[in-house]
Amino acid sequence: MPSRRPPASARLDVRLTPAHKELIELAAAARGVTVSAFVVGTLVAEAEAAMTDRTLRSLDARDAKALLGLLANPPAPSEALKRAARAMKVRRAR
């Protein structure tokens, strides 16, 4: 059974020039969708891209190899890390 989206209930009001409005209307018509569907789809795609740019990091080959090596063979925990782990356990036990 296909999933159903909840009905849209929030609004976003924007002001734009008549030329921008006409361009958006033409683009929506070219895609064969309503202006609302075109605007929402475009804005959501851009918002997702902006968040992806903000949250994802890529590594060059050297750094990726180093990271994979550390994941495969992690170093022993340092004394500072052990102290921090003990302190966290004490805080959680309270």
- Tens of pLDDT along the chain (94 residues) come to 566 777 778 999 999 999 999 999 999 999 999 999 999 999 999 999 999 988 888 899 999 999 999 999 999 999 999 999 999 999 998 8
Tokens of 87: 């302190």
Helix (H, G, I), strand (E, B) or coil at 57: coil
The answer to whether 29 touches 35, Cβ cutoff 8 Å, is no
Question: What pTM value is reported for the model?
Answer: 0.56
Q: What residue spans define the domains of the chain? A: 18-93
CB atoms within 10 A of CB 42: 14
